Amino acid sequence: MPAYLKHGSIPRKRHIAHRHEPGFRNEGIYYEEVVTLAGFGRAYSICYHLRPPTRVKKVEPAGTLAIETVDEPALRHHHLRTGRLERAGDPVLDRVALLANDDVILWRCRPAERQRDLYRNAGADEVLFIHQGKGTLHTMFGPLPFRPYDYIVIPRCTTYRIEFDEDRPADLLVIEATGDIRIPPRYLNPDGQLRLGAPYSERDLHGPQGTHVVDREHDTTVLIKDGTRLTRYTLASHPFDVVGWDGMVYPYTFNADDFEPLTGTVHLPPPVQQTFEASGFVLCTFAPRMLDTHPEAIRVPYAHSNVEADEVLYYVRGHFGSRRGVEEASITLHPRGVPHGPHPGTIMASRSMTRTDELAVMIDTIKPLSLTRAALEFDAEDYPYSWLD
Ligand SMILES: [Fe+2]
């Protein structure tokens, strides 16, 4: 989790009255809400509302966000040219799912509209990778500004509205994780601090900037997603009525350009680029970096067979030294069981290079990923043959 953070007005001790006169119904207090992970066993935050956060006026089914996966007749590499994705719809309801297993769903999103309802994912953490766009994530924890190449990590059950600056069309990769998004434990020292030598530090993780109290006693709808089901809740007041909070559960950003890459004398494997992890997958950042320094080093990755992982790369920016034919917003899926490696010509082309400007996001999953029917629209069918001259 990110470091302990505190904003706004909180009482001296947990679970004591936080005085506020006259308060809702003259009760004279702010209302505590404890947001806790793993039952009551792991990280938590404590928030103080103007009104009880539990006042529900209506619960209605609101459909599903079901995804349709396909049974592929053959095991093969895929190249999804998602740069062709049409701009359409709402930033949470009109995402396009492309790859999925029980642990993770990868969506692309190019919204054309503003977010209609407040939204809350009850069953999964979300990481929004901001390929393009700039704006603010609004939650009860306060405004969280974001910019291009930010990962926005949103813990499950965070009600949010994402707003993009109008002049910056948004383009997102969304990673929906069934398990909690975690900082890799090996990056933390026994005192819980990011180690010296970890590829980022607490200074690179940015939480909400202060509180922003929305004091509105009127019906407010929140769409709650749990699995594929959507439920519309009508609350008696706005849920962003928090005057203060503290804790370690809150949305935060980390910018991919703040990742400190390592370079060896010869090629270092992707775990050195790991950024986050969750049950069933790791997320890595291939950031601009110096290339390997040994005079005889091969400066693109060796061919490899992912014996027990499916490997997804999302190409963000720059020239990707080991690939031909990929473009910005391309996604490749290299499944287990079939080797992949540098494309013909790239070994020679990289020989005199000293650094790479590539930026890419990698997701390696333990369980196999399935393509969705929507993904087939972007699939370059000749990609498995792209290693021939
Ligand atoms: Fe690979």
**pLDDT for residue 323:** 78
Q: Which amino acid is at 387?
A: W
**pLDDT for residue 345:** 87
Q: How far is the CA of 272 from the centre of ligand 1 (A)?
A: 14
**pLDDT for residue 68:** 96
Q: How far is the CA of 340 from the centre of ligand 1 (A)?
A: 6
Q: How far is the CA of 305 from the centre of ligand 1 (A)?
A: 8
The DSSP H or E segment spanning 233 is strand 229-235
- With 0-12 / 13-18 / 19 or more C-beta atoms within 10 angstroms meaning exposed / middle / buried, residue 236 is middle
**pLDDT for residue 319:** 83
**pLDDT for residue 142:** 98
Q: How far is the CA of 283 from the centre of ligand 1 (A)?
A: 13
Query: Which protein residues have their CB within 5 A of the ion that is ligand 1?
Result: 311
**pLDDT for residue 144:** 98
What is the 3-state secondary structure of 141-184?
CCCEEECCCEEEEECCCCCEEEEECCCCCCEEEEEEECCCCECC
**pLDDT for residue 344:** 87
Long-range contacts of range 40-43, CB-CB < 8 Å, 24 or more positions apart? 42/1, 43/1, 43/247, 43/248, 43/249
Q: How far is the CA of 94 from the centre of ligand 1 (A)?
A: 30
Q: How far is the CA of 257 from the centre of ligand 1 (A)?
A: 21
In the chain, which residues have pLDDT < 50?
A: none
Helix (H, G, I), strand (E, B) or coil at 272: helix
- pTM for the structure as a whole: 0.97
**pLDDT for residue 325:** 87
Q: How far is the CA of 313 from the centre of ligand 1 (A)?
A: 8
Q: How far is the CA of 360 from the centre of ligand 1 (A)?
A: 12
Q: How far is the CA of 187 from the centre of ligand 1 (A)?
A: 23
**pLDDT for residue 9:** 98
Q: How far is the CA of 362 from the centre of ligand 1 (A)?
A: 9
